């Protein structure tokens, strides 16, 4: 999986085939298929492996233990500070997803995990009756998930020149102002 990770980061997603991964890992293509019957499984497993390497569960512990507005702020902070760690592979999967079903499946899997985190943060607001009345749980989750997208992070960090610290602080403020009643 480390070879897949490295190839995705280096190539931006272009031409990352099972044979390329096998060659980079120093094993046969058949050996790769023995462990990962499909390329989608390999790409998804690689993305999940990155979560393990970067200890995403440890990064999310404070958010998961908090409630209400604090949980929202800590979720935004944890995810916002995680994006730079996965950006290289994320960018590759995003670039490939329109023409590559395996990349689309891997990216979709990870973004559904992010959506789950957004839903949990919204649920924490609802539990303490702090979600703005104009939102349902679903529409609030939709908005939070969109605000925290990798594409939004890229625009603000690289096109607008925001620092990472500014990104997190401003996203916390934006999500509070948008969602908390």
pTM of the full structure: 0.88
How many whole angstroms from its chain centre is CA 156?
16
What is d(CA 90, CA 8) in angstroms, rounded to the nearest whole number? 9
Note whether residue 75 is domain-resident: yes
What is d(CA 96, CA 100) in angstroms, rounded to the nearest whole number? 6
What pLDDT band is residue 158 in, cutting at 50, 70 and 90?
very high
The count of other CB atoms within 10 Å of the CB of residue 70 is 14
Note whether residue 29 is domain-resident: no
Mean pLDDT computed over every residue of the chain: 92
Nearest of 156, 181, 151, 180 to residue 168 by alpha carbon: 156
Note whether residue 64 is domain-resident: yes
pLDDT for 39 equals 81
- Are 96 and 13 in contact by the 8 Å Cβ rule? The answer is yes
Angle between helices 68-96 and 56-65 (to 10 degrees): 150
DSSP 133: T
DSSP output for 91-109: HHHHHHTTT-HHHHHHHHH
Note whether residue 109 is domain-resident: yes
Rank 21-25, 33-37, 90-94, 127-131 by mean pLDDT and report only the highest: 127-131
What is d(CA 4, CA 27) in angstroms, rounded to the nearest whole number? 12
pLDDT tens track for 159-181: 999 999 999 999 999 999 999 99
Range of the domain at 150: 39-179
Note whether residue 11 is domain-resident: no
Look at the chain and report how many structural domains it folds into. Answer: 1
Note whether residue 146 is domain-resident: yes
pLDDT for 30 equals 86
Note whether residue 67 is domain-resident: yes
Note whether residue 56 is domain-resident: yes
pLDDT tens track for 57-81: 999 999 999 999 999 999 999 999 9
pLDDT tens track for 25-42: 888 888 888 888 888 888
Find the CATH number of the domain harbouring 123: 1.10.357
pLDDT for 13 equals 67
């Amino acid at each position: 999986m480390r070879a897949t990770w490295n190839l995705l980061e280096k190539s931006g997603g272009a031409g990352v085939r099972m044979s390329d991964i096998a060659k980079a890992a120093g094993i046969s293509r058949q050996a790769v298929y023995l462990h990962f019957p499909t390329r989608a499984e390999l790409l998804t497993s690689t993305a999940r492996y990155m979560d393990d390497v970067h200890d995403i569960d440890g990064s999310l512990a404070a958010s998961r233990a908090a409630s209400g507005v604090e949980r929202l702020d800590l979720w935004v902070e944890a995810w916002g500070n995680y994006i730079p760690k996965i950006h290289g592979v994320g960018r590759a999967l995003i670039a490939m997803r329109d023409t590559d079903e395996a990349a689309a499946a891997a990216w979709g899997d990870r973004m559904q995990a992010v959506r789950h985190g957004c839903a949990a943060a919204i649920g924490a607001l609802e539990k303490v009756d702090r979600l703005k009345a104009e939102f349902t749980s679903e529409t609030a989750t939709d908005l939070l998930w969109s605000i925290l997208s990798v594409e939004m992070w890229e625009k603000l960090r690289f096109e607008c020149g925001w620092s990472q610290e500014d990104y997190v602080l401003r996203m916390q403020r934006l999500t509070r102002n948008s969602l908390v009643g």
